[in-house]
Structure 1
Amino acid sequence: MTRIPGYVNEILQALERGGHEAWCVGGCVRDRFLGREPQDWDVTTSARPEQTMALFGDRAEATGLRHGTVTVRCGTERVEVTTFRRDGAYRDHRRPETVAFTDSLTEDLRRRDFTVNAMAMDRHGVVCDPFGGQEDLARGVLRCVGTAEERLREDALRILRGLRFSACLGLVPEAETEAAMHRCAPLLADIAPERIWEELRRLLCGAWAAETLRRFPDVLAVFWPETAAMVGFEQHSRHHCYDVWEHTLHALAAVPGETVLRCTALLHDVGKPACFTLDSAGNGHFPGHPEQGAVLADAMLRRLRVDNRTRETVVRLVRWHDRNIPRTPAGIGRALSELGEEDLRRLLEIKRADNLAQARQDLLGEIRLAGDILDRLVEENACVRINQLAVRGGDLAELGLAGAQIGRTLRALLDAVLDGAVPNTREALMQYARNMNHETV
């Protein structure tokens, strides 16, 4: 079981020496019981904020005095120290209008979201668990503290936090909590898009993300209504044994838990419902769905104010996911030239997952071949970009070329190298350029 770090123990000791109760609280205690390394260590105390500030002097920052929070620096580490409190009425389904400090740890734990986060532990290992968090952890259950609907209506972001805990920790919401999540889901419309994305991003990377989304497609559809059309949408194709949503979840589960890959897998077929056609034989087709999906994905990610790099990468991969890339050095080389190594490897992961989620996994060998060719091109430092050519624009100017003609010729030279028609040497490329432009030069 993870030990309390020395810098946290130092804060606990200092508060106790000052005559105050001091406990580690929340996620760090939960993760300790799960055998996971806590990401953050938070401390709760009977000390009032001004007492904490006085106790730690210039190491203390008043980061949230209204809510009783002081941040204490310990070397390069920062720990939030918060006074025991009771929350008043919540506004906008997000934050309490008032807080009242209390001397009761149990009262402080009572205001928290889920029982597994409503546990505290002192520096001696004594645990305060008034709501059965340890038992719920042992049973793999996620349960709200108190009345589920009341907790979720107070702060609607708790719905997504709960789904994240389910996706990342494998905790299954108990019946009352799950029902309240579904009922309260529309309240997420009041939550800032940046906060939604932060929870969704972490949810998608969880080991149980597919299982969680399968139970809660209605929650996702509150802020991404485009996904609702995927649920139950039959594909009417011999290539597919699942509807669009179920296929998507199988593909999502088949890629590594990384933000871009999981988000691309989730959105790769979002354009299908709008592109569906049925031929005279009753076979379904989705002409143009990658482009339509890219347009929708771009709008959806902008709506949550996702950073440009992530958004642009996901959109590019959605647009490319169904593209046939010839499994030849020239074909892979051109894809490498356009996408770069990192995104081409991501694309192959998406193609692999897409095929695994179909009725027949008949493309896996071709995808492996594409990966082998990519490995070889990278190992050989093969020429796949204009700046890797053995000639430059200045060399072509010596032949009398100018302006746009130089750019067109460099592109043609790269194509010739990719096709194996000419070696990437200055002499061979210059001769090729002379032959191409003989009327000019």
Structure 2
Amino acid sequence: MELPNWGIKLIRRLEEKGFEAYAVGGCVRDMLLGKKPEDYDFAVSALPDETKQALNGVPVFDTGLRHGTVTAVVDGHAAEITTYRTESGYSDFRRPDKVGFTRSLSEDLSRRDFTVNAMAFHPERGLVDCFGGKEDLKNRILKCVGEPERRFREDALRILRCLRFSSALEFAIEEDTRQALLKHRELLKKIAPERLQAEFSKLILGEWAEQVLTEYLPVFQVFLPEAGQRRSALSWLPAEKKLRLAGVFSGCTPDETARALERLRYDGKTIRTVTTLERYRQVPLETDRRQARKLVFLLGMETAEELLRFREEPELLKWLEVIRGQGLCCSLSQLSVNGEDLIRLGYPEGKGIGKALNRLLQLVLDETLENQKELLLKKAKSWMKLDCWQQK
């Protein structure tokens, strides 16, 4: 286990002033698993003001003083530094009513959610593991620190976090923790939709997402009753949020999917993409370039690509690469003529301009006419004469 040089420097700066400091939580877990942590958190025996004084000359920002947290930027790296603390009273089943500060690392670790997240590491003193987290990592087990029911009553979001870790790490859930999780699942109704969304989005990207969704379906139905309908197997889908969401809701209608996603406060673009994937999930498609161009016209390149990946259409995906590489026309903005060209040709201003441009685009998409200005104007001129004849 090795901390980056900037992390070692941070710990030494704090300890030079007489305080104790450790890397804690997820970064320690990831280092033990042989993974590179995405970020590093530190716990310190100093109070926030003492931390700032000890780091004089280092940029430090007040990011969570109520919970004893400041963020320091060391050699370009941001690190959260939190005072050893105790917590009590969780009237909203999410956040502690009272936070107290302590000089004891073991007290701080005892308030954490799961044993694998309740370890600390020091570059010289090594690993501090009061609750058997290292052994649980070895056995690929998720277990609450202390009494599971208490942990979930303190913060109901831990129920979903537990399932997210199971999905991401491919860890089984220890039986007492599992029973408590199922017993208190209704507490998830007290959690803000945005928080549920964040955890759920991470959960469905895990290798065990399908297994977790199936085994713990009653938990998900608390906030997502649609999850009980038939869904695509997630294991074969790329680990991308929109594709996995489409897999989760593949047994729903587009309207049902939209309502579920809106309830969890997903953004409009995500909702539109996921419902489009559902709408086109079983629409028959040819496998030629014309079909690919029409999909880009209808959906845009990004959504068309997501649809074809969702449906596993490798031939059409290859055609999308050709279209992208050659810059083939798939929209009015790419057409070699515009409204001003048609007006100069003699078209009267009005709706007829748009109608003619769309007819030209359809011919280009059908590949019965090349996207060349001279050819397009010639065709438009022939329509103008025909339209005049029909009007007479």
TM bracket, shorter-chain basis: over 0.9
TM-score (norm 2): 0.94
Partner of 1:280: none
Partner of 1:378: 324
Whether contact under 8 Å (1:329, 1:418) holds in the other structure is no
Give the whole-Å Cα distance in 1 for the aligned partners of 2:293 and 2:60: 56
Give the whole-Å Cα distance in 2 for the aligned partners of 1:311 and 1:177: 34
Partner of 1:50: 49
Superposed structure 1 runs of 4+ greater than 4 Å apart: none
The aligned length equals 386
Give the whole-Å Cα distance in 1 for the aligned partners of 2:36 and 2:213: 26
Q: Which amino acid aligns with 2:156?
A: A
Give the whole-Å Cα distance in 2 for the aligned partners of 1:418 and 1:102: 69
For 1:270-419, what aligned pairs fall within 5 Å after superposition?
270=252, 293-352=253-312, 367-401=313-347, 402-419=349-366
Q: Give the match's secondary structure for 1:24.
A: strand
Partner of 2:383: 436
Instruction: Extract unaligned runs of 5+ from structure 1.
Output: 231-243, 271-292, 353-366
Percentage of identical aligned residues: 39
Partner of 1:234: none
Instruction: Extract unaligned runs of 5+ from structure 2.
Output: none
Structure 1 position 202, deviation (Å): 1.0
TM-score (norm 1): 0.84
Partner of 2:80: 80
Give the whole-Å Cα distance in 1 for the aligned partners of 2:279 and 2:146: 46
Distance 1:144 1:421, change over 3 A: same
1:107 has 2:53 as partner? no
Q: Which amino acid aligns with 1:413?
A: L
Structure 1 position 63, deviation (Å): 2.4
Give the whole-Å Cα distance in 2 for the aligned partners of 1:96 and 1:160: 18
Whether contact under 8 Å (2:227, 2:248) holds in the other structure is no
Residue 241 of structure 2, aligned match among 247, 259, 266? 259
Give the whole-Å Cα distance in 2 for the aligned partners of 1:33 and 1:117: 11
Partner of 2:97: 97
Structure 1 position 96, deviation (Å): 0.7
Measured against aligned partners, the alpha-carbon deviations of 1:275-297 in whole angstroms (never above 9, x if no partner) come to xxxxxxxxxxxxxxxxxx21112
Give the whole-Å Cα distance in 1 for the aligned partners of 2:325 and 2:61: 51
Give the whole-Å Cα distance in 2 for the aligned partners of 1:63 and 1:382: 49
Structure 1 position 4, deviation (Å): 0.6
Partner of 1:126: 126
Structure 1 position 125, deviation (Å): 5.1
Q: Give the match's secondary structure for 1:218.
A: helix
Query: Bigger CA drift: 419-428 or 126-135?
Result: 419-428
Whether contact under 8 Å (1:53, 1:62) holds in the other structure is no
Q: Which amino acid aligns with 2:21?
A: A
Q: Give the match's secondary structure for 1:95.
A: coil
Partner of 2:194: 194
Structure 1 position 30, deviation (Å): 0.3
Give the whole-Å Cα distance in 2 for the aligned partners of 1:76 and 1:380: 41
Structure 1 position 433, deviation (Å): 1.2
Distance 1:47 1:344, change over 3 A: same
Measured against aligned partners, the alpha-carbon deviations of 1:27-51 in whole angstroms (never above 9, x if no partner) come to 0100000011111111111112221
Structure 1 position 145, deviation (Å): 0.5
Structure 1 position 381, deviation (Å): 2.4
Distance 1:411 1:33, change over 3 A: same
Partner of 1:359: none
Measured against aligned partners, the alpha-carbon deviations of 1:385-435 in whole angstroms (never above 9, x if no partner) come to 122222111111123222110111111111112222222222221121122
